[in-house]
């Protein structure tokens, strides 16, 4: 579970070819970071994988099944939105349980899954609070909890820490890495921040104007950047 293959995947918005056809292989359990400058197509690529945008070419295979054209809910992936996507009038418990309630899961099973997620995220003592009574980092963890309860085959993050201040960002980065260690579920993480990419990724995908410039481990990219763009972006001594 959590293996994703993009084969000739492309996206046009009207006349604009935002993603020219590209291929990418994501292995089960990998922490993959899409990094590149603002406007290069990171969010679009993630939304294509999530099914929130339709491709204009190519195929998306998830766990061996053709997911092209399949609705987001049927893909078995969870998109983690920024913490402001929480419902302010609901408790932490209800916020985390939300997708389970929508799926009509029995109450006892909802509770069990919410408590398990809260434990992984160190939120157990906050379950009866409202989002407004939490810190920014705790709110972000609630947003992640809402993804965990769905037991997705992959988590998709789109710049989840961009709302947080610098100190908190460093802490949350470590928490997300730790979560990956615990769950070993595939994670695709979008950021324009090179430091985030270099410290969190198993595999970095460097994007520039919708094209993949290079794919490799942080060390690969640092030591052997394929071109000036990658070298400049990663900050290699070249």
With CB cut-offs between 5 and 8 Å by kind, which of Mg ion, ligand ADP, none does residue 2 bind?
none
Rule CB under 6 A: is residue 44 a binding residue for ligand ADP? yes
24, 5 Cβ separation under 8 angstroms: yes
CA distance to 11, 46, 146, 212, 237, per residue, from 14 (Å): 10, 19, 34, 22, 40
117, 99 Cβ separation under 8 angstroms: no
Q: How far apart are CB 67 and ligand ADP at their closest, in Å?
A: 19
Rule CB under 5 A: is residue 177 a binding residue for Mg ion? no
Rule CB under 6 A: is residue 42 a binding residue for ligand ADP? yes
Residues in the chain: 238
Which one, 42 or 141, has the nearer CB to ligand ADP? 42
Span of 23-31, 42-50, 54-62, 103-111 interacting with ligand ADP by CB under 6 A: 42-50
Number of residues this chain uses to bind ligand ADP (CB under 6 A): 10
With CB cut-offs between 5 and 8 Å by kind, which of ligand ADP, Mg ion, none does residue 93 bind?
none
Which one, 110 or 191, has the nearer CB to Mg ion? 191
For residue 75, the 8-state DSSP code is: T
35, 42 Cβ separation under 8 angstroms: yes
Span of 22-30, 31-39, 213-221, 227-235 interacting with ligand ADP by CB under 6 A: 31-39
Segments in 2-106 forming alpha helices (H): 42-50, 92-102
Task: Tally helices (H) and strands (E) across the chain.
Answer: 8, 10
Span of 27-35, 37-45, 76-84, 129-137 interacting with Mg ion by CB under 5 A: 37-45
Q: In this chain, which of 3, 43, 56, 82 binds Mg ion, going by CB under 5 A?
A: 43
Cα angle vertex 65, ends 44, 51, to 5°? 25
123, 141 Cβ separation under 8 angstroms: yes
Site of interaction with Mg ion (CB under 5 A)? 43
Site of interaction with ligand ADP (CB under 6 A)? 13, 18, 36, 38-44
């Amino acid at each position: 579970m959590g293996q994703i293959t993009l084969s000739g995947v492309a996206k046009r918005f009207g006349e604009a070819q935002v993603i020219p056809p590209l291929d990418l292989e994501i292995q089960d359990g990998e922490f993959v970071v899409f990094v590149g400058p603002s406007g290069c197509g990171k969010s679009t690529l993630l939304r294509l994988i999530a099914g929130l945008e339709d491709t204009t070419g190519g195929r998306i295979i998830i766990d061996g099944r053709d997911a092209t054209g399949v609705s987001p809910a049927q893909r078995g992936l969870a998109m983690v939105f920024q913490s402001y996507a929480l419902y302010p009038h609901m408790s932490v418990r209800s916020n985390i349980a939300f997708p389970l309630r929508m799926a009509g899961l029995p109450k006892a099973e909802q509770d069990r899954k919410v408590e398990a997620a809260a434990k992984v995220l160190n939120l157990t003592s906050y379950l009866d609070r409202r989002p407004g009574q939490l810190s920014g980092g705790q709110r972000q963890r609630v947003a992640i909890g809402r993804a965990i309860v769905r037991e997705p085959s992959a988590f998709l993050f789109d710049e989840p820490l961009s709302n947080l201040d610098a100190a908190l960002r460093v802490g949350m980065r470590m928490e997300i890495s730790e979560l990956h260690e615990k769950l070993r579920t595939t994670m695709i993480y979008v950021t324009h921040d090179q430091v985030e990419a270099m410290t969190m990724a198993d595999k970095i995908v460097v994007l520039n104007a919708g094209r993949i410039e290079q794919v490799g481990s942080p060390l690969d990219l640092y030591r052997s950047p394929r071109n000036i763009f990658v070298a400049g972006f990663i900050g290699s001594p070249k």
